[in-house]
């Protein structure tokens, strides 16, 4: 751009001038350093361990209470796995203090299920019937191929054969003594959980049903027994009687079941029979089918089966409808430890690497275009897959695969810049500078964060920043062309001209770079780590790109202008004759001073030439002293005319762009009232749309495109298959917080160090009863806590422990207290005078030992809920957790459903804490009165706790209950994090945009010095954001994490265009200058010292024109005289400034908008759906911001500008 400040002599000293002189005098050195430093930083990045995180767990508000409590529980569980040592058999205290610890058990090889693999089969196109014999045969082939993959037996779950189990149960158990991991004589890979495997269960069951009927003493008994079995299976009473009579009267029917095809066999299974685990295979048979077939109810709630059609097993095939299912699935289990490892947790990362390396060979089976995809197409099927470790690696590969579109974006931007500059050398270096900014910025982000995990959202940065970065490159190219125009537009510009235009361009780019960096950096206020990481990386990239544009690109421009051979020879001469070069530079400076004197003499003689040295016409250099010169009106007029020639609009842009921008200026000026009115109406309508339609997203956004393997299988598993949606709510005792100082904020599996509750002393009987009382409260409120129907017991470890022992005592001691049950055991009703449960449990220090022994045998399912500080039973029980399963899914459940269940849990946990406090306080009769804030009466009513039957002698060391504070009870669940994300979105929406707008206002005002221009820019940016929000609402988008990110990106992408035009408008003034404007433009303190003390220029007094302006007030420019009249001078001056600004900056703005739109358009082809949505938003915003800048902003400054 050629603007007033740029066309004049350099202003007072600035670091930009020093940098410009360094680049001008040492272009080769600067160029090499600008390439070398980013290259070294890129090599430095390669030394770091970098992993892409694609997990949904990362998208949580890490600083919200939901995430803090969740991390506290998981940190405690991790701590427990690291510290708890399982012994071989129950310990036998008392043991001497010096006795060696028991020898820890190890796990039998491949006995601990650690990974799973689900294979889903659906018809292609979707909606067909997968229960056709040809399709079932294809599924059998696929299952056989999976189990035949090389190495399958090295990772599958190994189960002992019945013969091996009978021979040596100890060696074939799960936990075995050291050295016997592979002592079991015979093991096999577990059978895949699939319909093909289930088929044999069905046939065997029907055969056993017929055999039982034959063994009955008579037909009546046979019919009754068979009817009872069928009713239990799910047959109606009428169906069961008819079926039983048929089996008794015609025994040969049972044999026909063995010969029936699977499709016909399924016709006999009634609705509801598939929703019960009758065959004890670990889950309901309906697990294999879609939910509509399994339940007999279609999507709309209609019954999809006719009860009368399958009432009789021998009814004709024509009367029975063919079974119809849209999808089936199979499940494969893989287990640890592998050979060489003691347990599944022993050096887990190493075992994970081995498994994932093998799993990669499995996933290659179903690569697009592979053998099995072609075979599936022939069968009208599609095979999908997902699994632990496999899905994460596949998602990471898709994210990295989308980077190939970034290469396409660079290619398209290269073409755009090539058309703009018409120089392959300049274009290559412009794009290269932007490309080098990414590894440079990433190095600093990676080095400062010390986190090896990088969110997949960072892949977005190259697409967005390539367009924004090339904007700066175009500005620098325009400044260089303007500096060269003083020598006819060709050849190397003079040093002064280069320094002047370099400093002006650097100032303009600094304004745009700062506002863009602040807009992106405002994401650091988000509580979501991936969003914070993206904001920091994007802001760092903007800064790195700015530095490279000030070094690499101008050096490349100078090298090309000076000629490659000449530059090379000059650089070589510099290294060979350094002193001679300094002498030459000194002589050149002296020559420039002599030339300035000659120009001054020519000016005093009445002729003023249009050369690059015209800017020094008003000063005279003599022995380093600056003296004012007598100048008259003719000199000012001549100076203004020469300035008009130098800054003639469009000199360094093409003729077409000059004509187009002039036409644009005339149109905006003529139609500015209509533009303002139309914009105001549009914004009002958009505001109404946003106010009425903007809602917070209820569900997380999809990660990938709907047709990708992972996204499609997620849809089938969550929405199509008969799968119970559940989430795990963990209740913790003995944990009160987490220390995250050592945790990696970007690692979803790094939780920190647990902070344990010092009041949780589980050897104290009061604490033991308090835990039991809190668990009773939770169980008594099961109806309001949304427990699932079949996802585990609704009790904690201590309740199960008491239940097992009280059940045994009741069967052996009929004189025991009939009130000794789980719900009242915490009150003391089940205790004798010593405070013990009759015949089994002793409250106090002995209870942890008994609990450890029980958890090693009957209570093994609760073993991992006990966090011991060392060997179980021999060390302190540091914490206890309880697992409850609620009917919520982390992905498909809505925020409203989650919020309702969370509120219920919060209320119950408050009651549980009250029950804990009451149980602790009830040890002495006066403790309840001293327990502040606890209503003991209400607690007794809620939990059944009574203060009778407690013997003070059973209390720990006889301590009064007032001397102990009750331990804290709290709950955590991964699905609660969704609520934290919503709160983070609201928080960021209130913080990030205002920060970006304030920064834009300050920077714009600093760059323009005009409050009016700054206000016009902010109004334009706000209108762009409102219009884009209305567009998002109109297309049905809800405000979630992606939309929050889009808003900050919108602000960052909209600011640049306005600031470019705002700076151009503020500095425009080559036509119609007033005296004040001329004195401001002419202000010059060019006291710059060259590199190494060479090329020192004398200071120039700036009072030449200023003194003339103040002393010759009766002499003014023709338009300056008219500027005092608002009716005549104010409007034309705004119009002329706008025309000049549009002419000088519109081509650059157009180029910047084009490169941004082109680069972000490549996001539309990505597999990651999040990137697609952001790409579409940025492309639309680029168009809107470009149009509003040239339309609305121009109309505003033409109306109310300075």
Q: What was the pLDDT predicted at 486?
A: 59
Residues 6+ apart with CB under 8 A from 996: 515, 518, 519, 522, 1048, 1051, 1052, 1055
The least confident of 466-470, 1023-1027, 1121-1125 is: 1121-1125
Q: How far apart are CA 854 and CA 18, in angstroms?
A: 79
How big is the chain by its Cα radius of gyration, in Å?
40
Pick from 554, 513, 537: nearest CA to 438? 537
| Helix, strand or coil, per DSSP, at residue 117 | strand
Tell me the average pLDDT of the chain: 74
* Residue pointed to by tokens 């700054």: 1014
Q: How far apart are CA 894 and CA 287, in angstroms?
A: 24
pLDDT(10) > 60: no
Q: Quick one: what percent of the chain has pLDDT higher than 70? A: 71
Pick from 749, 699, 690, 748: nearest CA to 1042? 699
| Helix, strand or coil, per DSSP, at residue 1075 | helix
Average pLDDT over residues 1150-1155: 84
Average pLDDT over residues 806-814: 51
Q: What was the pLDDT predicted at 285?
A: 65
The least confident of 293-297, 342-346, 417-421, 591-595 is: 591-595
Q: What was the pLDDT predicted at 575?
A: 56
Average pLDDT over residues 1051-1075: 68
Average pLDDT over residues 88-115: 62
Q: What was the pLDDT predicted at 684?
A: 93
The least confident of 482-491, 662-671, 1105-1114, 1158-1167 is: 1105-1114
Average pLDDT over residues 618-644: 36
Q: How far apart are CA 824 and CA 75, in angstroms?
A: 32
The least confident of 222-236, 384-398, 1013-1027, 1123-1137 is: 1123-1137
pLDDT(182) > 60: yes
Q: What was the pLDDT predicted at 34?
A: 92
Split at pLDDT 50, 70, 90, the class of 909 is: very high
In which element (H, E) is residue 224 found?
A: helix 219-233
Split at pLDDT 50, 70, 90, the class of 338 is: very high
Q: How is residue 193 annotated by DSSP?
A: B
Average pLDDT over residues 908-918: 92
Instruction: Kindly list the distances between the CA atom of residue 257 and the CA atoms of 203, 219, 313, 523, in Å, as whole numbers in the listed order.
Output: 6, 21, 10, 65
Instruction: Kindly list the distances between the CA atom of residue 726 and the CA atoms of 296, 711, 891, in Å, as whole numbers in the listed order.
Output: 22, 19, 10
| Helix, strand or coil, per DSSP, at residue 733 | strand
Higher-pLDDT residue of 428 and 459 is: 428
Beta carbons within 10 angstroms of residue 634's beta carbon: 11
Q: Which long-range contacts (CB under 8 A, 24 or more apart) does 625-630 make?
A: 625/1098, 626/1098, 626/1099, 626/1100, 626/1101, 627/1101, 628/1101, 628/1103, 628/1104, 628/1107, 629/600, 629/604, 629/1104
Structure tokens at 447: 């080095």
Pick from 777, 765, 776, 770: nearest CA to 734? 770
Start-to-end CA span in the chain (Å)? 20
Burial degree of 725 (CB within 10 A; 0-12, 13-18, 19+): middle
Average pLDDT over residues 1017-1026: 89
Average pLDDT over residues 323-335: 86
Higher-pLDDT residue of 231 and 515 is: 515
Per the CB < 8 A criterion, the answer to whether 999 and 518 are in contact is: yes
Dmax of the chain from CA atoms?
138
Q: How far apart are CA 475 and CA 464, in angstroms?
A: 18
pLDDT(652) > 70: no
* Residue pointed to by tokens 């005592």: 809
Residues 6+ apart with CB under 8 A from 1136: 1068, 1071, 1072
Per the CB < 8 A criterion, the answer to whether 693 and 1033 are in contact is: yes
The neighbouring-strand residues paired with 118 are: 331, 386
> What is the distance of C-alpha 629 from the center of its chain?
66
Q: What was the pLDDT predicted at 823?
A: 37
Tens-digit pLDDT profile for residues 199-217 = 777 777 777 777 777 777 8
pLDDT(944) > 60: no
Q: What was the pLDDT predicted at 470?
A: 82
pLDDT(266) > 80: no
Split at pLDDT 50, 70, 90, the class of 631 is: very low
Q: What was the pLDDT predicted at 317?
A: 41
Average pLDDT over residues 682-696: 88
Q: What was the pLDDT predicted at 576?
A: 59
Instruction: Kindly list the distances between the CA atom of residue 554 and the CA atoms of 492, 536, 547, 1040, in Å, as whole numbers in the listed order.
Output: 12, 27, 11, 42
Average pLDDT over residues 382-390: 85
pLDDT(1124) > 50: no
Q: Quick one: what percent of the chain has pLDDT higher than 90? A: 14
Q: What was the pLDDT predicted at 335?
A: 92
DSSP string spanning 701-719? PPSB-TTSHHHHHHHIIII
DSSP string spanning 563-601? -HHHHHHHHHHHHH-HHHHHHHHHHHHHHHHHHHHHHHH
pLDDT(620) > 70: no
pLDDT(178) > 90: no
pLDDT(824) > 60: no
Pick from 200, 225, 206, 230: nearest CA to 215? 225
Beta carbons within 10 angstroms of residue 982's beta carbon: 21
pLDDT(6) > 80: no
pLDDT(1173) > 50: yes
Q: What was the pLDDT predicted at 924?
A: 43
Q: What was the pLDDT predicted at 1194?
A: 92
Structure tokens at 1179: 């492309």
Instruction: Kindly list the distances between the CA atom of residue 748 and the CA atoms of 52, 54, 256, 460, 825, in Å, as whole numbers in the listed order.
Output: 11, 10, 55, 20, 40
| Helix, strand or coil, per DSSP, at residue 741 | coil
Q: How is residue 101 annotated by DSSP?
A: P
pLDDT(801) > 70: yes
In which element (H, E) is residue 1027 found?
A: helix 1011-1034
Q: What was the pLDDT predicted at 825?
A: 41
Average pLDDT over residues 156-173: 88
pTM metric for this prediction: 0.70
The least confident of 487-491, 736-740, 975-979, 1178-1182 is: 487-491
Per the CB < 8 A criterion, the answer to whether 631 and 1115 are in contact is: no
Q: What was the pLDDT predicted at 654?
A: 57
Highest mean pLDDT among 310-324, 704-718, 1122-1136: 704-718
């Amino acid at each position: 751009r050629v603007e007033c400040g740029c066309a004049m002599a350099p202003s007072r000293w600035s670091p930009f001038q020093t940098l410009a002189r360094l680049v001008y005098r040492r272009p080769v050195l600067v160029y090499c350093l600008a390439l070398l430093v980013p290259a070294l930083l890129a090599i430095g990045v390669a030394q770091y361990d970098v992993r892409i995180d694609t997990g949904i767990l990362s998208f949580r508000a890490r600083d919200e209470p939901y995430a803090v409590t969740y991390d506290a529980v998981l940190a405690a569980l991790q701590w427990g796995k690291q510290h708890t040592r399982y012994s071989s058999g129950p310990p036998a205290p008392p043991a001497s203090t010096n006795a060696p610890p028991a020898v820890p058990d190890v796990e039998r090889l491949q006995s601990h299920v650690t990974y799973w693999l689900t294979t889903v089969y659906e018809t292609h196109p979707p909606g067909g019937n997968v229960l056709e014999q040809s399709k079932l045969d294809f599924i059998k082939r696929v299952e056989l191929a999976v189990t035949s993959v090389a190495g399958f037996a090295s990772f599958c779950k190994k189960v002992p054969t019945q013969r091996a189990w009978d021979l040596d149960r100890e060696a074939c158990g799960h936990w075995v003594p050291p050295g016997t991991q592979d002592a079991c004589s015979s093991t096999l890979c577990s059978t895949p959980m699939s319909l093909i495997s289930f088929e044999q269960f069905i046939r065997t069951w029907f055969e056993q049903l017929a055999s039982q009927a034959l063994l009955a003493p008579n037909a009546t008994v046979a019919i009754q027994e068979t009817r009872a079995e069928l009713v239990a299976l799910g047959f109606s009473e009428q169906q069961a009687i008819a079926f039983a009579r048929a089996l008794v009267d015609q025994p040969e029917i049972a044999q026909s079941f063995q010969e029936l095809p699977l499709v016909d066999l399924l016709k006999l299974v009634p609705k509801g029979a598939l929703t019960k685990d009758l065959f004890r295979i670990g889950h309901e048979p309906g697990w294999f089918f879609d939910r509509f077939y399994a339940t007999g109810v279609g999507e709309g709630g209609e019954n999809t089966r006719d009860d009368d059609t399958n009432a009789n097993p021998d009814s004709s095939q024509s009367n029975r409808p063919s079974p119809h299912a849209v999808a089936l699935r199979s499940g494969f289990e893989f287990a640890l430890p592998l050979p060489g490892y003691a347990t599944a947790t022993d050096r887990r990362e190493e075992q994970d690497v081995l498994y994932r390396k093998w799993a990669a060979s499995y996933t290659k089976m179903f690569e697009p275009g592979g053998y099995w995809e072609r075979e599936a197409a022939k069968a009208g099927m599609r095979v999908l897959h997902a699994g632990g470790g496999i899905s994460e690696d596949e998602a990471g590969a898709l994210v990295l695969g989308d980077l190939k579109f970034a290469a396409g974006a660079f290619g398209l931007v290269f073409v755009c810049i090539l058309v703009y500059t018409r120089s392959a050398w300049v274009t290559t270096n412009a794009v290269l500078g932007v490309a080098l900014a990414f590894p440079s910025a990433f190095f600093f982000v990676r080095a400062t964060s010390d986190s090896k995990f990088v969110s997949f959202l960072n892949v977005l940065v190259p697409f967005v920043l390539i367009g924004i970065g090339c904007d700066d490159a175009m500005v620098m190219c325009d400044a260089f062309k303007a500096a060269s125009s003083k020598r006819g537009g060709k050849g190397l510009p003079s040093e002064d001209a280069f320094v002047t235009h370099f400093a002006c361009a650097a100032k303009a780019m600094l304004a745009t770079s700062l506002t863009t960096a602040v807009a992106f950096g405002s994401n650091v206020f988000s509580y979501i780590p991936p969003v914070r990481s993206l904001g920091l990386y994007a802001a760092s990239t903007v800064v790195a790109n700015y530095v490279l544009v000030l070094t690499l690109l101008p050096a490349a421009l100078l090298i090309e202008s000076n000629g490659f051979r000449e530059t090379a020879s000059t650089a070589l001469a510099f290294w060979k004759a350094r002193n001679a070069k300094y002498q030459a530079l000194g002589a050149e400076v002296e020559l420039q001073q002599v030339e300035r004197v000659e120009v001054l003499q020519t000016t005093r003689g009445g002729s003023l030439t249009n050369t690059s040295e015209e800017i020094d016409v008003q000063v005279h250099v003599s022995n380093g002293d600056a003296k004012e010169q007598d100048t008259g009106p003719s000199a000012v007029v001549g100076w203004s005319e020469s300035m008009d020639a130098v800054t003639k609009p469009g000199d360094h842009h093409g003729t077409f762009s000059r004509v187009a921008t002039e036409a644009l200026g005339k149109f905006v000026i003529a139609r500015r009232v209509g533009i303002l009115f139309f914009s105001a109406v549009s914004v009002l309508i958009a505001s109404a749309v946003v106010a009425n339609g903007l809602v917070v997203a209820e569900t997380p956004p999809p990660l990938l495109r709907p047709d990708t393997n992972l996204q499609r299988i997620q849809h089938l598993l969550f929405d199509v298959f008969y799968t119970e949606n559940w989430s795990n709510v963990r209740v913790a005792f003995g944990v009160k917080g987490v220390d995250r100082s050592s945790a990696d904020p970007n690692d979803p599996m790094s939780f920190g160090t647990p902070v344990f509750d010092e009041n949780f002393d589980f050897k104290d009987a009061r604490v033991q009863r308090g835990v039991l009382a809190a668990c009773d409260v939770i169980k008594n409120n099961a109806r309001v806590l949304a427990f699932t129907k079949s996802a585990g017991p609704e009790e904690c470890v201590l309740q199960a422990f008491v239940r097992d022992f009280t059940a045994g005592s009741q069967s052996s001691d009929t004189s025991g207290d009939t009130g000794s049950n789980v719900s009242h055991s915490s009150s003391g009703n089940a205790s004798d005078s010593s405070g013990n449960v009759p015949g089994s449990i002793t409250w106090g220090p002995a209870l942890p030992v008994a609990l450890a022994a029980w958890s090693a045998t009957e209570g093994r399912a609760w073993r991992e809920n006990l966090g011991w500080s060392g060997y179980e039973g021999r060390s302190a029980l540091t914490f206890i957790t309880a697992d409850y399963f609620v009917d919520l899914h982390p992905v498909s459940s809505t925020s409203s459903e989650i919020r309702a269940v969370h509120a219920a849990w919060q209320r119950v946990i408050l009651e549980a804490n009250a029950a804990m406090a009451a149980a602790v306080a009830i040890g002495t009769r006066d403790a309840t009165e001293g327990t502040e804030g606890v209503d003991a009466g209400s607690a007794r009513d809620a939990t059944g706790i009574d203060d009778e039957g407690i013997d003070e002698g059973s209390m720990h060391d006889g301590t009064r209950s007032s001397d102990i504070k009750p331990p804290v009870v709290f709950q955590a669940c991964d699905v609660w994090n969704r609520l934290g994300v919503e709160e983070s979105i609201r928080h960021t929406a209130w913080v990030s945009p205002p920060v970006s707008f304030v920064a834009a206002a300050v920077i714009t005002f600093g760059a323009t010095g005009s409050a009016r221009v700054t206000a016009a820019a902010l109004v334009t940016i706000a209108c762009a954001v409102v219009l884009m929000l209305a567009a998002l609402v109109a297309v049905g988008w809800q405000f979630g994490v992606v939309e929050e990110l889009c808003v900050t990106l919108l602000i960052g992408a909209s600011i640049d265009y306005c600031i470019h035009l705002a700076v151009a408008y503020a500095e425009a003034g080559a036509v119609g200058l007033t005296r004040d404007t001329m004195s401001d433009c002419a202000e010059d303190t060019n006291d710059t010292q060259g590199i190494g003390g060479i090329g020192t220029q004398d200071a120039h007094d700036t009072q030449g024109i200023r003194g003339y302006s103040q002393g010759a007030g009766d002499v003014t420019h023709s338009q300056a005289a008219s500027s005092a009249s608002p009716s005549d001078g104010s409007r034309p001056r705004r119009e002329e400034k706008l025309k000049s600004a549009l002419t000088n900056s519109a081509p650059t703005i157009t180029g910047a908008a084009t490169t941004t739109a082109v680069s972000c358009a490549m996001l539309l082809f990505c597999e990651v759906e999040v990137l697609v949505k952001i790409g579409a938003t940025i492309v639309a915003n680029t168009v809107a911001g470009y149009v509003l800048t040239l339309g609305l902003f121009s109309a505003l400054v033409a109306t109310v500008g300075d």
